[in-house]
A and B are shown apart, each in its own frame.
Chain A
Amino acid sequence: MADIAFLLIIFFMLTAVFTSTQGLQFAFPKDDPTQLDIQPEEAIHIKVVGEEQILVDKSPMTLESMEGYVVMKMGQNPNKPVIIQTLPDVPYYAMIDVLDVLKGLQVTNISIPTEADVERWKAFGVFE
C-alpha cells in the first residue's frame, strides 16, 4: 500500500510542471477605425530600433534615461499615452524590456501598434 502510494507521489512530483501563467497584460482598444483614441501629438513615442537601442520622441535613450523621461512627462500629465513601436528585426525581449519599465512606472495608457497600424497611422501623419 505504502509502496503504491509512494510510487504515485513520485509520479505526481515528476509530472508537476509548475506552469507559469504570469506575464504582462494589455488590451487592444475598441475596434473603431474612425476614432483614434490616442492624440498622437501628445503621446510619448517610443521606438525600439534594436537591442538596447531606443528612440524616445526621436532622441536616442537608454532604458534608464527613458524611465526618467517618462516619469517627467507623466508628472505633467498622468494619463499621457505611450506608444511603443518596434521595428520588425528587433528581438522580442527588447520590446518586453521597454514594456516592463513602463508597467513598472504604472503607465496605464500604453499602446502597441502593429505594423499594419503604423502604416495606417502614417496616413494621419503620426509616424513618418
Chain B
Amino acid sequence: MKRPKIATLAPKIPTASMADIAFLLIIFFMLTTSFSPEKTSVTLPQSEIRTELSKDAAIIAISLDGTLSFTDGEQPAFPLATYSDIGPLVEGMVAIVPQKEFLIKADRGVRYEMVDSVLEQLRNSGARRIGLLTDRRVVREI
C-alpha cells in the first residue's frame, strides 16, 4: 500500500495581528504616561509609610544646591530666586482652589532650614494641605 505523502509546510509566524498588538501597546503607554511638569532631579528621602498624594498638586522642588523651582501642576516648572517668591504664587492658587495640595520635593540632604522656609511661606500664604514626597524604603536602615 502506498502511503500518502505528507506535505511539508514551511513554518510561518502569523503577523496579521502584529499591528493590532502594537496599537494596543501604544494606547496603553499613551494612557499611562503622565508627563510630570517637575523634572528637577533630586534624591528623595525614604519612608516606609507613603500615601497617594494628589496628582494635580503644585510642586515646590528644592535641589541639593538649594535652587528652588515651582510648578502649579500643569505648567512647566520654573526656577524661583528667593523663598518669598513662593508666597504670592501660592496665595493666587489658594484663592482659586482652597484645598489645593502643595508637594515639597526636596533632596534628602538639604538643610532643614530650606524646607522650613518653604513651609513658612506656604503656611503664611494660606496653604492647608501639604505633602512631602518620599521614595519607598525597601529595607529599614538601622
Contacts and interface: CB of A to CB of B under 8 A. Distances in A.
Contacts of A16: 29, 32-33
B132 A96 contact: yes
Nearest to B109: A91
Interface string A81-109: 00000111111111111011001100000
B130 A25 contact: yes
Given A88-B111, A92-B112, A24 B47 contact: yes
Contacts of B93: none
Contacts of B52: 21-22
A116 interface: yes
A91 B50 contact: no
B107 A92 contact: yes
Nearest to B119: A114
A44 B85 CA distance: 34
B53 interface: yes
A123 interface: no
B23 to A, nearest CB: 6
A19 B49 contact: no
Nearest to A17: B36
B26 A5 contact: yes
A12 B29 contact: yes
A86 B116 contact: yes
Contacts of A104: 48-49
B131 A23 contact: yes
A9 interface: yes
A24 B112 contact: no
Contacts of A93: 45-46, 108-109
Interface stretch (B4-12, B74-82, B120-128): B120-128
A6 B44 CA distance: 34
Given A15-B33, A20-B135, 19 more contacts: A6-B22, A19-B34, A20-B44, A21-B54, A21-B131, A21-B133, A23-B51, A25-B53, A27-B128, A28-B123, A28-B127, A28-B130, A86-B112, A89-B113, A90-B111, A92-B106, A103-B47, A103-B49, A104-B48
Interface of B: 15, 18-19, 22-23, 25-26, 29-30, 32-36, 44-55, 57, 103, 106-116, 119-120, 122-123, 126-137, 142
